[in-house]
Amino acid sequence: MGYESKVQVIRRGGKNRQYYLICPSPLAGALELQKGELIEWVVKDRYTLEVRRTAPAAGRGRSRHE
């Protein structure tokens, strides 16, 4: 299953930029993401970005690197 999402950039002042990656709702639902949940972005290589939960979601017994 794959979902496309555009990268958004917000410029604040001169050189300060923030990049936003939107997680589509069907993907968030499939991953059972919850508001406020912490995730970690891991760069595997130039074309591969891995997303990991940094802590188990409340009420679920997930391991850190499941």
Question: Tens digit of pLDDT for each residue in 36-60?
Answer: 999 999 999 999 999 999 877 666 5
- List, in sequence order, every residue forming a beta bridge with 7; answer none if it has no partner: 21
Write down the mean pLDDT value for the chain. 84
How would residue 62 be classed by pLDDT, with cut points 50, 70 and 90?
very low
Query: What gap in Å lies between CA 27 and CA 64, rounded to an integer?
Result: 19
Nearest of 30, 1, 5, 63 to residue 52 by alpha carbon:
63
Does residue 64 have a pLDDT over 70? no
Predicted TM-score of the model (pTM)? 0.62
